A and B are shown apart, each in its own frame.
Chain A
Amino acid sequence: MIPAAFEYFAPKNLDEALRLVERHGDEAKLLAGGHSLLPLMKLRLSAPRYVIDIGRIRALHGVREEDGRLVIGALTTHHDVESSELVRQRCLLLAEAAAEIGDVQVRNRGTVGGSLAHADPAADYPAAMLALEAEIVATSSGGSRAIPAGEFFVDLLTTQLRPDEILTEVRVPVAGRRSGGAYRKLHQPASGFALVGVAARVRLGEGEKIESVAIGMTGVAAHAYRAATAEQALAGKKPGAKLLGEAAGRVTEGVDTLGDMHGSAGYRRAVATVYARRALEAAIARAGGKTA
């Protein structure tokens, strides 16, 4: 399988890249790690007239801490995220999600920005970004805008990004004390995609009660979502096995659950509960200072 022919650009900096997307917009695809785009192009499900390879834009690589937030360049690879000491210390959930993606070869090349922009319904980052209440920064020649993760994912393979924009970075608020997060995932055994992926973030408050909680779900529906009713069930309460079990049982409430050859909708709902409980347990243990 070979991609259809295209015209190739390899801009060296963001300005050059922005000029290219402005000019070619709808007919162009941005190439980063290529692990989402190239398989589609090989199958000819995608045959862009122009490919703009942004891999050489150094400024979009790397992780830094800025104003209480982790700023992750769009071209940072999954491997860089999972092995970054900074990410592991500040946001273990995100490192865990990165480590669960695909396999070693894919993580060495695939990028944060590429995965988010592709918005596969079974990708790992979307759940993490939702739970972390991250902002996704889209840049065009007119300037940048920060899109809350909660608004970014619109539908199957569809995001808020416009054709003239480039996803340039992700900003993740760094959790304070008494906070913990975890990502737990059931892999589709062959592809490694999430049959169910659950990102849970919890902050404990007075009397060990749950002060705030966010649960991001992926693999379960057409796009990643926040499990709002489960979050409500937990907020302000003291965590215990019974409460966690009840809340976990609600993570697919009101959701049109996917059912396919990898798992029926019923199976996905059943394991979503299991993985939500496991993610919450780990997040709470971490928030309480215990390692899990």
Chain B
Amino acid sequence: MTKELIRLKVNGETHELAIAPNKLLLDVLREDLGLTGSKRGCDDSSCGCCTVLIDGMPMLSCVALATSYQDAEITTVEGLARDGELDPVQEAFMSWGGAQCGFCTPGFLMTTHALLEKNPDPTLDQVREALASNICRCTGYTQIYESVLAAAQKIREKRKNEIAISK
């Protein structure tokens, strides 16, 4: 198997990696970069456990060749926290019981983060739509839903404070 040198920017850091072109982004993240937060659940684009952000958009890393993403900004669950401070979405999932067994949690966090970046005040339907394809087998959807709303509120408050400070 011929390996090629690729450059991947993950969580703000650029890595040079020698990988075979058929290597999936999920496996490069997990095996070559040790970022095991993203999971392989279904392996057939159904469960959302492998969701990462590509230029801010949630996408499935198990159905993506790593080499296709050399120009992109990739964010995994490990990159959500900034300067040791957890993202409001992470905090909300902790305090509202959004994580049970936790296996689907990274995928949910990424999708939720992207949703709230774009729209910090989503309606019930918008939350349902955005998270419909992240599957939780512990079926903690009630708590996940509450976590998302709590995170949204936190983000709105944070933005309000930032605006107040900048004034």
Q: Which residues of A contact B (CB under 8 A)?
A: 1-8, 10, 31, 34-35, 38-39, 41-42, 51, 53, 55-56, 79, 102-106, 108-109, 190-192
Q: How many residues of B contact A (CB 8 A)?
A: 31
B21 close to chain A: CB less than 8 A: yes
- B129 and A31: CB pair below 8 A? no
- B22 and A34: CB pair below 8 A? no
Please pick, from B20, B24, B46, B71, the residue contacting A5 in the complex, using a CB distance under 8 A.
Answer: B20
C-alpha gap A35/B20 in the complex (Å): 20
Across chains A and B, which 5 residue pairs bring their CB atoms closest together, nearest first?
A103-B133, A8-B21, A108-B57, A3-B22, A38-B63
Interface of A is mostly: mixed
Which chain B residues border A7 with CB–CB below 8 Å?
2, 21
Q: Which residues of B contact A (CB under 8 A)?
A: 1-2, 4, 20-24, 27, 43-46, 48, 51, 54, 57-60, 63-65, 67-68, 71, 111, 129-130, 132-133
Which chain A residues border B57 with CB–CB below 8 Å?
79, 108-109
- A6 and B24: CB pair below 8 A? no
C-alpha gap A42/B4 in the complex (Å): 20
Q: Besides A3-B65, A106-B133, A191-B46, 4 other CB < 8 A contacts?
A: A5-B1, A34-B64, A35-B45, A105-B133
C-alpha gap A73/B130 in the complex (Å): 25
Instruction: Look across to chain A and name the residue whose beta carbon is closest to the beta carbon of B56.
Output: A108
Q: How far is the CB of B113 from chain A (nearest CB, A)?
A: 13
- B68 and A106: CB pair below 8 A? no
- B63 and A6: CB pair below 8 A? no
- B130 and A31: CB pair below 8 A? no
Please pick, from A8, A41, A104, the residue contacting B133 in the complex, using a CB distance under 8 A.
Answer: A104
Please pick, from B23, B59, B133, the residue contacting A192 in the complex, using a CB distance under 8 A.
Answer: B133
C-alpha gap A264/B27 in the complex (Å): 39
Which chain B residues border A190 with CB–CB below 8 Å?
46
Report if A104-B111 is in contact (Cβ < 8 Å); known contacts: A34-B64, A56-B71. Answer: yes
